Amino acid sequence: MTTLSTVLVTGASSGIGATYAERFARRGHDLVLVARDKSRLDALAARLREAHRVGVDVLQADLTSPADVSAVETRLRDDARIGILVNNAGIAQTGGFEQQSAQDIERLIALNVTALTRLAGAVASRFAQSGTGAIVNIGSVVGLAPEFGMSIYGASKAFVLFLSQGLHLELSPKGVYVQAVLPATTRTEIWERAGIDVNALPEVMEVGELVDAALVGFDRRELVTIPPLHVAERWDALDGARQGLLGDIRQSQAAERYRTDA
Ligand code: NAP
């Protein structure tokens, strides 16, 4: 009988991360749960051990703190049982760009961009050497939509999508699976934390439905999973148009419309 790999989930104390933890426990995986709120993590760990008879470790970490990120990196590098990383911890943005303090900007980028990238970096070589492993990065449809008015948050999620696409190209030939999951509005605490009433928002997905759909994409080894997108061809068309640019964007001469010698 093959042993299922351990899953490390960041932001596991609530919302999407806690739901991923529950779903993987249900599938029989041991877990490492990471977030700041240790008492919530301990309570979830106890519940999952009891309900699903799996091993659950709790690793308290503030992923905006470089020292705490280092501790999680060490665990990811050294614990060869960990075969799936769910890079989920993230915060949203309150207010427009002009309302952001330097600290707000630092915190959002430290968590949504720097920590996520460093943690993927901590497993990449080990996974590639073993020819197995999965990195799941939670992005957002906001990363496709500057029109939604959350410029820093959206930019951080555009980064997550690009990073996932790049890691897929680099690591999938070595047997590592990379998935970007792009939820739209999902009923979690992220909204309350950002001072927004989720009940005032249209088209809110329940968190269980979101994670179950994301796991269908995971099981299919899909690179980009957008659970709320009903017309899959829309994504294919967007990605196809982007790839269509590739043959054209590397030229030694400026385009005619920018030439000053005419
Ligand atoms: P959530 O319920 O607020 O969960 C966020 C998780 O991140 C919590 O476990 C929180 O735990 C953890 N976290 C926050 N700051 C942290 C820090 N400094 N260090 C370590 N952990 C931290 O929100 P969610 O909706 O489930 O969000 C999960 C992911 O989904 C995020 O990346 C978010 O951008 C993405 N997403 C959400 C939606 C949505 O509508 N809900 C839509 C698109 C994408 P502690 O407070 O205990 O640290």
pLDDT at 19 over 80: yes
- Confidence grade of residue 102 (pLDDT, cut at 50, 70, 90): very high
Q: Is the pLDDT of residue 95 over 80?
A: yes
Q: Tell me the pLDDT band of 2, cut-offs 50, 70 and 90.
A: confident
Ligand 1 and 133: CB distance under 6 A:
no
Structure tokens of 158?
């555009």
Residue 153 annotated among the catalytic residues of the structure: yes
High-pLDDT (> 70) share of the chain, %: 99
- Say if residue 1's pLDDT is above 60: no
pLDDT in tens, 200-244: 999 999 999 999 999 999 999 999 999 999 999 999 999 999 999
Q: Looking at domain 6-258, which of 3.40.50.720, 3.30.70.60, 3.30.470.20, 2.40.50.100 is its CATH number? A: 3.40.50.720
- Would you state the structure tokens that stand for residue 77, as one six-digit string? 């590098």
Q: Under a CB-based contact definition with an 8 Å cutoff, are residues 68 and 62 in contact?
A: yes
% pLDDT > 90, the chain: 98
Q: Is 186 in the pocket of ligand 1 (CB under 6 A)?
A: yes
Cβ 72 vs Cβ 122: under 8 Å = yes
Report whether pLDDT(34) > 80. yes
Average pLDDT, the chain: 97
CB within 8 Å of 191: residues ≥ 6 apart? 92, 185, 197, 198, 201
Helices (DSSP H) in the chain: which residue ranges?
15-26, 38-52, 66-78, 102-109, 116-130, 151-171, 190-193, 207-219, 232-246
Residue-wise pLDDT for 120-172, tens only, equals 999 999 999 999 999 999 999 999 999 999 999 999 999 999 999 999 999 99
**C-beta 179 within 6 A of ligand 1:** no
Q: What is the mean pLDDT of residues 183-193?
A: 96
Query: What Rg, from alpha-carbon coordinates, does the chain have?
Result: 19
- pLDDT, average across residues 86-105: 97
Residue of 20, 153, 177, 258 marked catalytic: 153
pLDDT of residue 63: 99
**CB burial readout 106-144, b (16+ within 10 A) else e:** eebbbbbbbbbbbbbebbbebbbeeeebbbbbbbbbbbb
Report pLDDT for 262. 62
- Protein residue with its CA nearest to atom 6 in ligand 1: 11
Give the mean model confidence (pLDDT) for residues 37-65: 98
Task: Output the CA 87–ligand 1 centroid distance in Å.
Answer: 10
Has residue 261 got a pLDDT over 90? no
- Ligand 1 neighbour 110 (Cβ under 6 A): no
SS3 readout for 97-160: HHHCCHHHHHHHHHHHHHHHHHHHHHHHHHHHHHCCCEEEEECCHHHHCHHHCCHHHHHHHHHH
Instruction: Indicate the domain borders of the chain.
Output: 6-258
Residue 239 is predicted with a pLDDT of 97
User: 168-206 burial, b for 16+ CB within 10 Å, e for fewer?
Assistant: beebeeeebbbbbbbbbbbbbebbeeeeeeeeeeeeebe
Q: List, in order, residues 6 or more apart from 131 with CB less than 8 Å away.
A: 174, 175, 176
Judged by DSSP in three states, 226 sits in: coil
